[in-house]
Amino acid sequence: MSEPAEPPIPDGLLLRIYRVAVLTRAVDHQLWLLSRQGRAGFVLTARGHEIAQIASAAAMRRGHDSAWCYYRDMGVGIALGVTPYEILLGGLARGADPHSGGRQLTMHLSSPSLRIGSISSAIAAHIPHAVGAAYAARVRGEDSVAMCWFGDGAASEGATHEAMNLAGVHRLPVVFLCENNRLAISVPLALQMPVERVSDRASAYAMPGESVDGTDAEAVFTATRAAVERARGGGGPSLLELRVPRITPHSSQDDDAYRSDEQRAAAAAADPLPRLRQTLIERGMLAVDEDERMVREAREQVVADEDLALAMPEPLPERARRWLYAGDPPQGGVTLPARYANWTGVFDG
């Protein structure tokens, strides 16, 4: 008698992905409110991308593999252990922000301890950095994998071609993850590239390419885990295209006028959170009242973090030129609320 097939993703991890997605959505919602109040600056939302981000990050070895995100990757950051409090400190430009000292735009993370490379505002600038990290792991004899997330707009940048070409030539341990919402700000995919899918480009770099439904947590985790294991085992790079909806405008400064009401409604209908919620309920892993409590507690947690962040001072003017040159003292850590004493994102059991 054959052994039962191993589930694509452990039930406990699937539930944890959903919990982190609910928390990410709550942070996203609060940042938009703060933006409309004139308290937070440029907000770039993760809404619609959360499951793709979190499920792919779950395939990493936290603190061992390196993460190279772009400005929309709130779900990746929280999955790896960044707290909502830290994100709100950055969004409110507070001096205690441990990622940039309140100097960067919202969601520009940088964490040596979590191995999250500095997020850049320049489109695709981080993709060569990810390949550099993979090359460094090769030189050092480490089995670390570089994970690199980017949008479909970044796929049109020259830096992306150069990075993937180098990774393919040297068969480097890097996984490229394109979160394809089919819009580069306002430019539709058909005007960005002559091929139907970003993953179609993988063969030009002699790497496998796969297009995955980014709203399906199990499909994303399974595909990413296979790509990570392949990279770690010396098999070289992979390109995963995660097809996701963009539920909100590109940013808080975008009026979304280039989309029709029907297009916006279709994106909202493709929201991945209700899909995963229904899966968990059908499998008996989540009750409706438990879900309602989870959503309520996530909102309360984020509002409490916002109150703490608002009470923190803005950066001191005399620090305006600090961290521009070598030799400056490090930014230092941040005192987190007690509830985050054991917080490790999606990896938290």
Nearest Cα residue to 285 out of 335, 217, 345, 233: 217
- 46 touches 308 (CB < 8 A): no
- 312 touches 88 (CB < 8 A): no
Query: Tokens 């609320």 sit at which residue?
Result: 337
64 a catalytic residue: no
Task: Catalytic residue, from 103, 161, 258, 340: name it.
Answer: 258
Q: Are strands 187-188 and 66-68 parallel, antiparallel or unpaired?
A: unpaired
Task: Catalytic residue, from 47, 99, 243, 246: name it.
Answer: 246
Task: Catalytic residue, from 47, 62, 230, 250: name it.
Answer: 250
* CA separation for the pair 272, 14 (Å, rounded): 13
DSSP H/E element including 238: strand 238-243
Residue type, 255: D
321 a catalytic residue: no
Structure tokens at 260: 């029709």
250 a catalytic residue: yes
160: left (phi over 0), alpha (psi -120 to 50) or beta: alpha
Active site residues: 246, 250, 258
